[in-house]
Amino acid sequence: MSAESTPSPSLADYYAEQAAQAPDNLDAFWLPFTANKAFKARPRLLASASGMYYTDIEGRQILDACAGLWCVNAGHARPRIVEAIRQQVGTLDFAPNFAMASPLPFKLAERLAELAPVDLNHVFFTNSGSESVDSAMKIALAYHRVRGQGQRTRFIGREKAYHGVGFGGISVGGLPNNRKWFGPGLPGVDHLRHTLDLERNAFSKGLPVHGVEWAEELERLITLHDASTIAAVIIEPISGSAGVILPPQGYLQRIRQLCDKHGVLLIFDEVITGFGRVGKAFASQRFGVTPDLMTTAKGLTNGCVPMGAVLVSDGIFETFMQGPDNVIDLFHGYTYSGHPLACAAALATLDTYAEENLFEKAIELGDYWQAGLHSLKGLPHVVDVRNFGLIGAVEFAPRPDAHPGARGFEAFTRAFNEGQMLTRITGDVLALSPPLIVEKAHIDRIFNTLAEIIPKLD
């Protein structure tokens, strides 16, 4: 390599130092989804990461019990991925993909189509889960229009769903705080009820037994609006961000049947369930239910470079290919769709998953994980624990004299400060989703830490 393309040691040291040292001023960065004032009064700053651990700027090792933000499925700083990114940036740093392309997105799309459920053989690249969701919704609308059913404009989402933060995603999403500040959202959206039912299903091991009947609500909504007006139903096979909500046994199968019956597209949002989180490449395969469109992101690049992808069925894709040869088939795309750095990271990530059989880990370790999690039953304030694959959640009763989420936030900060462990909270639910390289000793540490801190919660 020429001197021009390699940073000199002093330059490399300079950038490494910047990443590891506390900033002089915390004011300018507005953190997303954060109580900024509280955070800046007591910041938690991570400086480096390797394998199952972060190191914070004070040099403490922090066990990563949530794969960063549900994305670092192969663990941190994996050599193949690091090397692929390093190599790629010096070879082709950017290439436009509008009427032009580099070889990488084709290679990656083919790899994804091989991994995906049958029929989902076409890939539209985005840069995040939110963009994947909005792209999938636009593809669904345009698909109906291309085949002469442009009146199918409605979407059906679910209460408590999280589909990212774009206007499409918040409209079909069902988390009140993510919606109420931002106006009325897309018109023509309705919601199914969520499937969380603590009265009947608390402390379920794996998929809950009760609740398949909630799927029948879809028939009711389709009757109300008439099938001819509905474009698609969007569902997370397991919702993570809303506090780990599992589909009751048979629920997803019934939703699929009803969509087929009425010609409504089914979109699975697999942004967190994709790439091995539940023991197969995608939850769709674990549950034996194939959607028409599937949204992904996060684990696609092991969280190293932002990237998302919408996987699209043959039938939908072919419908778009019926027009004249020289007319754009889909008026949609991002400057960074199929970015070379992201593609290189994704290809190396898929290699790492395959080489280490990481997609099977959630099944191999599933029982051990479940036993550890359910050992927390009976501790103070714990009203539910739930699990599937390498996903877990502990729900606390809200603290009666405080705002909802106060007890959950205390659990999160105690886990970080006292237990040196990174978890994720939504309200009073503490969610766990470790990198898939997790071992039994890490699982022991996760649940021992929680067993120590939970009795101290106010």
Is 133 one of the binding residues for ligand PLP (CB under 6 A)?
Answer: yes
Phi, psi (deg, nearest 5) at residue 446:
-60, -50
Does 129 interact with ligand PLP (rule: CB under 6 A)? yes
3-state secondary structure of 422: strand
Q: Which of 88, 97, 130, 302 binds ligand PLP (CB under 6 A)?
A: 130
Q: Say which DSSP state 297 is in.
A: -
Q: Which one of 89-97, 124-132, 216-224, 415-423 is the stretch in contact with ligand PLP (CB under 6 A)? A: 124-132
Which burial class, exposed, middle or buried, applies to 146 when counting CB atoms under 10 A from its CB (0-12, 13-18, 19+)? middle
**Least separation in angstroms between CB 32 and ligand PLP:** 9
Q: x/- binding map, residues 319-358, to ligand PLP, per CB under 6 A?
A: ----------------------------------------
Tell me whether residue 215 or residue 300 sits nearer to ligand PLP (CB atom): 300
Span 214-253, contacts to ligand PLP by CB under 6 A: 236, 240-241
**If residue 176 lies in a helix (H) or strand (E), which one and from where to where?**
helix 176-180
**H or E stretch covering 455:** none
**Residue 254 binds ligand PLP (CB under 6 A):** no
State phi, psi for 316 to the nearest 5 degrees. -65, -50
Q: For 312-331, give the DSSP string.
A: E-HHHHHHHTTS-TTS-S--
Q: Look-up: residue for tokens 């130092």?
A: 17
Stretch that binds ligand PLP, among 86-94, 264-272, 341-349, 389-397 (CB under 6 A): 264-272
In the complex, least distance from residue 241 CB atom to ligand PLP, rounded to whole angstroms:
5
Quick check: 134 binds ligand PLP (CB under 6 A)? Answer: no
Please tell me whether residue 158 binds ligand PLP under the rule CB under 6 A: no
Write each residue from 265 to 284 as x if it is in contact with ligand PLP (CB under 6 A), else as -, in one continuous string. ----x-xx------------
How far is the C-alpha of 135 from the C-alpha of 59, rounded, in Å? 41
Partnered with residue 386 across adjacent β-strands are: 393
Contact criterion met (CB below 8 Å) for 161 and 150: no
Q: Which stretch binds ligand PLP (CB under 6 A): 129-137, 139-147, 391-399, 440-448?
A: 129-137
Q: DSSP string covering 241-282, please?
A: TTT-BPPPTTHHHHHHHHHHHHT-EEEEE-TTTTTTTTSSSS
Find the shortest distance in angstroms from Cβ 306 to ligand PLP. Answer: 7
- The answer to whether 372 contacts ligand PLP (rule: CB under 6 A) is no
Binding residues for ligand PLP (CB under 6 A): 128-130, 133, 162-164, 236, 240-241, 269, 271-272, 297
